[in-house]
Amino acid sequence: MRRLVPILLASMLAWLPTAPPVSASTSTDWPAYLFGPRHPSKSASTSITPSNAGSLVKAWTFTSPGPTMTGQPGGGFVASPIVYGGRVFIGSNTGVFFALDELSGAVVWSRFLGFVKRSTCNARGIASTATVAIDPVRQTPVVYVSSGDGYLFALDATTGAVLWKSVIALQSATQNDYFDWSSPTVVNGSVYVGVSSQCDAPLVRAGVKRYSQATGALLATYYSVPTGQIGASVWSSVAVTSGAVFATTGNASGGTNDAFSIVKLDPTTLARTGKYTVPGADRVLDSDFGGSGTVFSAGGIQTVGACNKDGWFYAVRASDMGLRWKAQVATGSPEGQNSCLSAAVWDGSRLFLSGPATRIGGVAYAGSVRRVDPLTGSPVWERGLGGAVIGTPSINGSSVMAVPIYASTASQNGLYLLDASTGSVLRFLSGGKQFAQPTFAGPYLFSAAQLGPVVAWKLP
């Protein structure tokens, strides 16, 4: 195994000298998980419209090579494709991170970042979606991404060279404890990352960490449980505004803590300044917040909302973290593939919620998307779908919504394309189980399958 690692790294670094520079970002790129710090999941791209979405074809596909080391997990993608300056950036379950050419899908560079072996949970590589942002000192584009073995990396977007790496939390040698599911949020010179366990076997002392964007120095830490306690994992990615950081938390093991909550943190110190906790009567077993928070405006009031495993989306005032409304999105389940894990989609005036098993008009559906009134949570339209939605949909500037489907029947795995104005189905793109968020960028729609390829969809 030790001999294989240098060989693998050498082959990856061979890409670096010939890598062309990253061009400037365009207004139709998709630079981060859920698009940006407030998590709107909306692109300005307008090429794909309700009238032409039915004619999309595959422009190219990219499949991650399989394992080459003992204990390394297989290929495939949980992370979402990020698009910046002519490149598509994505991490694989093998622990290898790729920069692909946007036009052809060819590998421009790749770098092995690490994985964890199977112990008390499954082996895993990179689950975190990258963010590309301009370094405040170098003034060049940098890729920020978490590895599969507990590090936060800053990589030169042009070459893949490591600019810095910092510890988030390292897994022990005897059990699968810490793991980074959270995608980094980069804003105002800081990088924010959630801290979580891998699969609750065991729970860990969780929270949020803030790093310097330029150097990787750890600047602040929020713990969701006191010293000596464990749990309240931040499985999701934090949302950030000019005045606050919002994180969602999972279950904890006894004591007084911030479990089952949407917490508001000071963006500099990460001190908790408020929280909303799901009432005990609403909860299901293991009633985590697995979905990331989304910041939106309702009646001129800044609101943050997230979906809990109990199947309810909770919308709270950002100012005092008081509940404004809640809306049922799914039946509610502690099981991940049947849980409400999607973030909301906010296009500036319309709010969309999605989830797994639900009922609409008395009819049972495996999944759904709903447009709701951001003031009340009341449905404007509801669309039942043939498969569970546990990843987050995305929307473009032409009001086309791409919805990833994670289902038990192969015929229902892939992407639904919806007209966001009416909820009508425009097209179903078959393509394997998909948790990764599909992303609109330029003339493309990019998707990634859990056991399959990255696909670039384009008009013929």
pLDDT at position 336 over 90:
no
SS3 89: strand
Q: Is the dihedral of CA 164, 170, 173, 179 positive or negative?
A: negative
Give the confidence band of 18 by pLDDT, cuts at 50, 70, 90: low
Cβ neighbours for 173, distance < 8 A, ≥ 6 positions apart: none
> Rg for the chain (alpha carbons), in Å?
20
Q: Please state the φ and ψ torsions of residue 327, each to the nearest 5 degrees.
A: -135, 135
Q: What's the CA gap between 295 and 36, in Å, rounded?
A: 11
* Residue whose entry in the numeric block shows the structure tokens 């959270």: 182
Q: What percent of the chain has pLDDT over 90?
A: 92
- pLDDT, residue 147, reads 97
Three-state SS for 111-149 is: EECCCECCCCCCCECCCCCCEEEECCCCCCEEEEEECCC
Q: What does the pLDDT look like over 236-246, one tens digit per residue?
A: 999 999 999 99
Structural domains in the chain plus CATH codes: 4-458 (2.140.10.10)
Query: Which residue is associated with the tokens 């009922």?
Result: 359
Q: Which residues neighbour 161 within 8 Å (Cβ) at sequence distance 6 or greater?
A: 16, 155
Cα separation, 220 vs 208, in Å, equals 8
Residue 310 to residues 250, 335, 338, 460: CA-CA distances in angstroms?
Answer: 12, 10, 10, 42
Tell me whether residue 209 is exposed, middle or buried, using C-beta atoms within 10 angstroms of its C-beta: 0 to 12, 13 to 18, 19 or more: buried
Q: Is the pLDDT of residue 440 over 60?
A: yes
Residues 133-159 pLDDT 10s: 999 999 999 999 999 999 999 999 999
Question: Per-residue pLDDT for 6 more than 90?
Answer: no
Q: Which two tokens stand for residue 82?
A: 């990020």
Give the pLDDT confidence score for residue 254 in this predicted structure. 83
Looking up tokens 């190219």 gives 60
Residue 30 in 3-state DSSP? strand
Structure tokens at 26: 């365009």
Q: How is residue 217 written in tokens?
A: 């120095």
Query: Average pLDDT, whole number, for the chain?
Result: 94
CA separation, residue 257 to residues 180, 252, 272, 362 (Å): 21, 8, 11, 38
Sheet holding 141-146, edge to edge: 131-134, 141-146, 151-156, 162-167
Q: Which two tokens stand for residue 169?
A: 């939390």
State the Cα–Cα distance between residues 342 and 368, nearest whole angstrom. Answer: 11
Bond from prior residue into 202 cis (ω within 30 degrees of 0)? yes
* Distance (Å, whole) CA 171 – CA 150: 7
**Residue 116, strand partner residues:** 124
pTM of the model as a whole: 0.95
Q: How far is CA 265 from CA 36, 246, 294, 306, in A?
A: 18, 6, 15, 16
Q: Are 180 and 108 in contact (CB under 8 A)?
A: no
User: According to the model, what pLDDT value does residue 10 have?
Assistant: 38
Q: Torsion angle of alpha carbons 13, 3, 115, 229, nearest 10°? A: -130
What pLDDT, on the 0 to 100 scale, is given for residue 19? Answer: 77
pLDDT digits (tens, 9 = 90+) for 378-397: 999 999 999 999 999 999 99
Contact 272/232 with Cβ under 8 angstroms? Answer: no
pLDDT above 80: residue 30? yes
